[in-house]
């Protein structure tokens, strides 16, 4: 029996119709209810399968909330034709995760903001949604400053080092990283949860008040047109200048990042 499974794994994910994928979802729900019984508070389905946009090779992403404090585990396995992932959370843990704002908020919190309810009271899912967005402006500003200082400011220094030394080998990956962080910055500033990590660049280009150079950089990365290292460096420099102007236009206070921290 074990030998029969190996070829299915080594060939990678197999095509699976949505109806068949939902049968797998139902079997996972049944297993969770059997294993945790009356302790189950809620079960949610998210990602492309939860949105109804899954393709023939999409995976399954779910969470199960139980009434046990501190529970925080994640299971990932191959269910036969594809991959499944189930996060097992205590109520306190999932509330804490939903209420956290960090640099990746715009792509990590769709799981909590917009899951499909499979089991549990709708009020619990509404509470998770509200926890994702219920923060003072300064909480988002702190995460924005983190991206600007830790990623974009440091990143343009690396670009300038590359130009100064003529060592352009890392510029393509730097462009990809900078485009992503610019999209995350915009997501925080506009309180936007992107549909999926792979759509963050395209969706960020629809948001209002983008830094000059953001769209140009995103289009360059999305097209894969990164072979001309000197042009990549020019595009990254233009993006940084746009970010610097954007900070002023947004009225974002960077003074906490300009002082001695200790």
pLDDT in tens, 216-228: 999 999 999 999 9
58 and 126 assigned to the same domain: yes
CA 154 from centre of chain: 22
End residue of a domain, out of 133, 162, 180: 133
- Do 129 and 141 share a domain, yes or no? no
pLDDT the model gives residue 52:
95
Which of 4-18, 67-81, 226-240 is predicted least confidently? 4-18
Q: Do 38 and 12 share a structural domain?
A: yes
In a 13 Å sphere around the CA of 157, the CA atoms on its Cβ side amount to 7
Q: For residue range 168-190, what is the model confidence (pLDDT) as tens digits?
A: 999 999 999 999 999 999 999 99
Average pLDDT along the chain: 95
* Residues annotated as catalytic (active site), given as ranges: 154
Specify whether 108 is located in the same domain as 181: no
Q: Are residues 120 and 18 in the same domain?
A: yes
- CA–CA separation, 236 and 216 (whole Å): 9
Residues 190, 235, single domain; the answer is yes
- 262 belongs to a structural domain: no
Instruction: Say whether both 222 and 187 belong to one domain.
Output: yes
Residue ending a domain, among 77, 104, 133, is 133
Same domain, 15 and 49: yes
Domain that holds residue 223: 137-257
CATH number at residue 58: 3.30.460.10
Kindly report the pTM of this predicted structure.
0.92
Distance of CA 186 to the CA centre of its chain: 13
Q: What angle do CA 68, 107, 129 make, to 5 degrees?
A: 50
pLDDT for 80 equals: 82
How many domains is the chain built from? Answer: 2
CATH number at residue 202: 1.20.120.330
pLDDT tens digits for 144-157? 999 999 999 999 99
Q: Which of 133, 168, 203 is the last residue before a domain boundary?
A: 133
């Amino acid at each position: 029996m074990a030998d029969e499974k190996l070829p299915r794994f080594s060939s990678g994910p197999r095509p699976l119709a949505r109806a068949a994928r939902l049968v797998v979802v139902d079997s996972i729900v049944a297993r969770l209810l059997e294993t945790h019984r009356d302790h189950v508070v809620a079960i949610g389905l998210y990602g492309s399968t939860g949105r109804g946009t899954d393709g023939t090779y999409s995976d399954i992403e779910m969470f199960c909330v139980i009434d046990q404090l501190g529970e925080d585990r994640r299971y990932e396995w191959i269910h036969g034709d594809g991959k499944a992932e189930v996060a097992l959370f205590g109520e306190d843990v999932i509330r804490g995760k939903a209420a956290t704002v960090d640099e990746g908020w715009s792509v990590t919190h769709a799981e909590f903001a917009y899951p499909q309810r499979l089991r549990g009271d709708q009020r619990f899912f509404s509470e998770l949604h509200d926890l994702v967005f219920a923060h003072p402006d300064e909480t988002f500003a702190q995460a924005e400053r983190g991206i600007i200082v830790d990623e974009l400011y440091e990143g343009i220094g690396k670009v300038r080092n590359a130009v100064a030394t003529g060592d352009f080998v890392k510029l393509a990956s730097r462009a990809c990283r900078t485009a992503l962080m610019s999209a995350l910055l915009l997501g925080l500033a506009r309180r936007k949860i992107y549909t999926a990590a792979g759509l963050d660049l395209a969706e960020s280009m629809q948001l209002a008040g983008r830094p000059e150079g953001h769209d140009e950089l995103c289009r360059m990365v999305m097209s894969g047109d990164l072979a001309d290292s000197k042009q990549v460096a020019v595009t990254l420099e233009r993006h940084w200048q746009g970010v610097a102007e954007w900070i002023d236009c947004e009225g974002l206070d960077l003074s906490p990042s300009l002082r001695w921290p200790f």
